[in-house]
Every structure is written in C-alpha cells, then in structure tokens.
Structure 1
Amino acid sequence: MAGYTGTRQDHLRRLRRIEGQARGLQRMVEDDKYCIDILTQVSATTSALQSFALSLLEEHLAHCVAEATLKGGPEADAKVKEAAEAIARLVRS
C-alpha cells in the first residue's frame, strides 16, 4: 500500500487543478497574452507542483521510510537513500 493511499483523492484533485493551470498557460500563449502575465501563471503552476511534491514526500517519509526504519537492515538503508535522492532532485529542480 502506498503512503498516500488515504489521501489519493485529495492528490488527484490537486493534480487536476494543476493540469487546469497548465492548460490555462497553453490558452494564454494561443491568445498572445502579455509575457509577464504568462510568467506569473508559470510561477503559480510551479509552486503548485512543488507543494504537491512536498506533500507526497512528507507522506512517503511518514509511511514508507518510517515503516522500513522500524524493520531496520538493508531495506531501511535503501529507503533512506531513496528518499535522500528524491529530496536532492526536488532541491535541484
């Protein structure tokens, strides 16, 4: 079971809103909207994606990583390393 299973519907709602924002960006470009207005919407969409990613990461740490560390051993080490790599990717993006 995934760490986000209990909040799956909330995540799907957020992703649908983000998808709507991306489609809105496409419409803005199609309609030749002002560059700064488009960039403002890009920033809002980026922030929404980052917020989603952080929420998912928090659930992963609280569920998957915490469960693995309780068991200990190589699985725990692998989960911690995997989470650290995911955090590094988020920081770089």
Structure 2
Amino acid sequence: MKQCMDVDAVTLRLKRIEGQIRGIIRMIEEDKPCEDILIQIGSAKAALHKTGQIVLQGHMHHCVLDGIESGRKDETMDRLFSAIEQFSRMV
C-alpha cells in the first residue's frame, strides 16, 4: 500500500511544532507575559491545522483515488467522510 502523504515533510513540520511547544513551555517557566504565550499557542495551533490539511490532501490525492480506481468506492468514500469528520473536529 502506498503512503498517503509525504512522510518526511509532515514529520519535519511536526518536529518544528514540537519545538514551538517546547518554546511555549519555556515561556511559561520564565513567566513571560500571557499575551505573548497566547500568541505562540495560536501559532502552534495554526501550524497543526496546516499539517492536518496536508495530511487530508494527501489522503484525498492518494488513498481516495487509489480506492476508487481499485473498485472500492463505497468503502473509500466512508473512509474519506471519516477523515473529514476527524479533521473538522480540530478547532
């Protein structure tokens, strides 16, 4: 089975987000202003959302197309709807 996404690119993005989270923890430990911490939390949240978009896009371009082309249309559409539902819960 083919991978649905560029694993290296997604992993790199997640490692950057991990660094952002460590930075937020450091800011809290150093008693930085709440407004600055909230800005960084918003940035990390936006980065996670963008990563989710990339994963969903990969799912649609690879997994969904492969599933439909191989004759598994109903199962593939069910999995797509599930993926979209999971992604839409990211608020």
TM-score between both structures, scaled by the size of structure 1: 0.83
Corresponding position of 2:9? 10
Question: Cα gap change, 1:33/1:79 in structure 2, threshold over 3 Å: closer, same or farther?
Answer: same
**Structure ranking higher in helix proportion:** 1
Gaps in structure 1 of 5+ consecutive residues = none
Q: Percent identity?
A: 34
Question: Cα gap change, 1:73/1:49 in structure 2, threshold over 3 Å: closer, same or farther?
Answer: closer
Q: What is the CA distance between 1:72 and its match in structure 2?
A: 3.6
1:35-93 CA deviation, whole Å, 9 max, x = no partner?
Answer: 10000100110010000000111000111112212224432332233233224323xx2
Do the aligned partners of 1:21 and 1:41 also contact (CA within 8 Å) in 2? yes
Alignment of 1:26-41 (within 5 A): 26-41=25-40
The answer to which structure, 1 or 2, has the higher relative contact order (CA under 8 A, 6+ apart) is: 2
When the two structures are aligned, how many residues end up with a matched partner? Answer: 89
Corresponding position of 1:24? 23
Corresponding position of 1:60? 59
Gaps in structure 2 of 5+ consecutive residues = none
TM-score between both structures, scaled by the size of structure 2: 0.85
